[in-house]
Amino acid sequence: MVPRAGLGLKAASLLTAVLAIAFAAYCAAAQTAAKAAPAATRAGTQPADRVLLLVNDNSLLSRDIAEYYARRRGVPRQNICRVKASTGEEISHEDYDRQIARPIGAFLRKNGLQESIYYIVTTAGVPLKISGAGEGMSSSAAAVDSELALLYSDLKTGKPHRDDGSIPNPFFAKRDRPFSHPEYPIYLVTRLAAYDFDGVKGMIERSLAATNRGKFVLDLRGPDDESGNDWLRNAAILLPKDRVVLEETTEPVYGQTDVIGYASWGSNDRHHERRFPGFHWLPGGIVTEYVSTDGRTFVKPPDSWTPSMDWSHRSAWFAGSPQSMLADYIFEGASGASGHVYEPYLNMTPRPDLLLPAYYSGRNLAESYYLAIPALSWQNVVVGDPLCALGPPAH
């Protein structure tokens, strides 16, 4: 993963001071935005009415997950969109357009849901990633969910967006404003996926039980001021001090209890030698990490497999990479996680200093992740119930 240039120690110190002063104002603004978000609910629209649930009828797993989620969250039947798509995890752009994007667009238009839907929920069994051409930041490869996020603007303009490279996320860093249409011309797309159906059921149940308590664990890979480390430090400043575990040495954090949020370098920390952090997760706990391919598959690795930074020995790889897997966090007990299907580059990963304070302030899972993701039509995938929320902080 290619990092951005660091801020420098002096600049980082100044930023720390500014952020500390701004903390109270930030929390007030974030809580105001979180309270404003349910305005449609007060007008008679239930939160589940904002959800479009996507089912691949060719996948029994997709159908089972959709049925369970719709029942538990009360998603209206008219908000369930059925497609007949490939059951493989990777598809071409042509098949994505033909099997997924066009049928969903037609469904939204036919049922008059284009404006009222805020969240699209994909399910395991719906293709995960789109193969593409090109190298680096000009690649046309992308996550299915990240492409779907731009379907709203495609429908408004009447033409599809370009598929090479990334497209700036208009909701990025909008931490003091609620999400709404047409102000933000995107859908917030999250995926209900885990290693199996029971894993998804557990994730849904934990999301329904979420409360605003527990620790935010922020694990730097060293004391230097590279960008990823500075974002983790800034997140610590923007969260209540008594709810933060901040590790600034090269020692990884393991064995924490009552974890509600976790951000780290994952397997990109050369000292991170375990597959699982050994956490006790609270219901609603979420994860983000700076790892290039942690969302590459939802096939479960062998129990003996351990992620690493070793790209030189293919025998240590699983599903084309030696890197850690976001689904392992769901397996351990997290309720939501972000990952990447192909190389995103560091500056395109979710910003923990936006994600975790937003989630703490009461925003739901989907809004919290998407205001932290810089670009769409890219490699990002968000796993979890979009409506999962901790509620406003108690203090």
Is residue 215 domain-shared with residue 352, that is, in the same domain? yes
What's the confidence (pLDDT) of residue 336? 98
Residue 356 lies in a domain: yes
Q: What is the pLDDT of residue 393?
A: 83
Q: Are residues 188 and 205 in the same domain?
A: no
Domain's final residue, options 162, 179, 196 = 196
Q: Can you give the pLDDT at residue 17?
A: 44
Q: How many structural domains does the chain have?
A: 2
Same domain, 316 and 188: no
Q: Compute the 3-state secondary structure of the chain and give helix, strand, coil in percent, each to the nearest 5.
A: 35, 15, 45
Q: What residue numbers bound the domain in which 130 lies?
A: 41-196
| pLDDT reported for residue 46 | 58
* 77: in domain: yes
> Tell me, what amino acid is at 244?
V
Tell me if 119 is assigned to some domain: yes
Task: Please tell me whether residues 75 and 105 are part of one structural domain.
Answer: yes
| Closest CA relative to residue 275, chosen from 325, 321, 232 | 325
Residues 225 and 179 in one domain: no
Q: Which of 169, 196, 223 is the last residue of a domain?
A: 196
| Residues 374 and 241 occupy one common structural domain | yes
Q: Considering the entire predicted model, what is its pTM?
A: 0.91
* Sign of the Cα pseudo-torsion (331, 267, 295, 245, in order): positive
The answer to whether residues 284 and 375 belong to one domain is: yes
Residue 395, pLDDT score: 58
pLDDT in the model for residue 353: 98
Nearest CA-CA partner of 175 in 22, 25, 368, 35: 368
Predicted local distance difference test score (pLDDT) of residue 15: 44
φ, ψ for residue 109 (rounded to 5)? Answer: -65, -45
The string of DSSP codes covering 256-271 is -SSEEEEEE-GGGSTT
Q: What is the pLDDT of residue 12?
A: 40
Co-location of 340 and 261 in the same domain: yes
Looking at the domain assignment, is residue 392 inside a domain?
no
Asked if residue 3 has a cis previous peptide bond (ω within 30° of 0), the answer is no
Same domain, 51 and 20: no
Q: How far apart are CA 289 and CA 228, in angstroms?
A: 10
Note whether 228 and 152 are within 8 A (CB).
Answer: no
**Structural domain contains residue 394:** no
Q: Is residue 391 part of a domain?
A: no
In this structure, the answer to whether residues 115 and 232 fall within a common structural domain is: no
Is position 3 within any domain?
A: no
Residues 231 and 159 in one domain: no
The helix/strand count (H/E) of the chain reads as 12, 15
Instruction: Determine the pLDDT at residue 392.
Output: 87
Do 166 and 244 share a domain, yes or no?
Answer: no
Say if 144 falls within a structural domain.
yes
Among 326, 367, 328, 348, smallest CA distance to 174 is for 367
The last residue of a domain, from among 175, 196, 217:
196
Instruction: Please say whether the beta carbons of 115 and 50 come within 8 A.
Output: no
Number of residues in the chain:
395
Per-residue pLDDT of the chain (395 residues; tens, 9 = 90+): 544 333 233 334 444 444 444 444 554 554 444 444 443 333 334 599 999 999 999 999 999 999 999 999 999 999 999 999 999 999 999 999 999 999 999 999 999 999 999 999 999 999 999 999 999 999 999 999 999 999 999 999 999 999 999 999 999 999 999 999 999 999 999 999 999 999 999 999 999 999 999 999 999 999 999 999 999 999 999 999 999 999 999 999 999 999 999 999 999 999 999 999 999 999 999 999 999 999 999 999 999 999 999 999 999 999 999 999 999 999 999 999 999 999 999 999 999 999 999 999 999 999 999 999 999 999 999 999 999 999 988 75
In angstroms, the CA 137 to CA 345 distance is: 8
Q: How many CB atoms lie within 10 A of CB 127?
A: 23
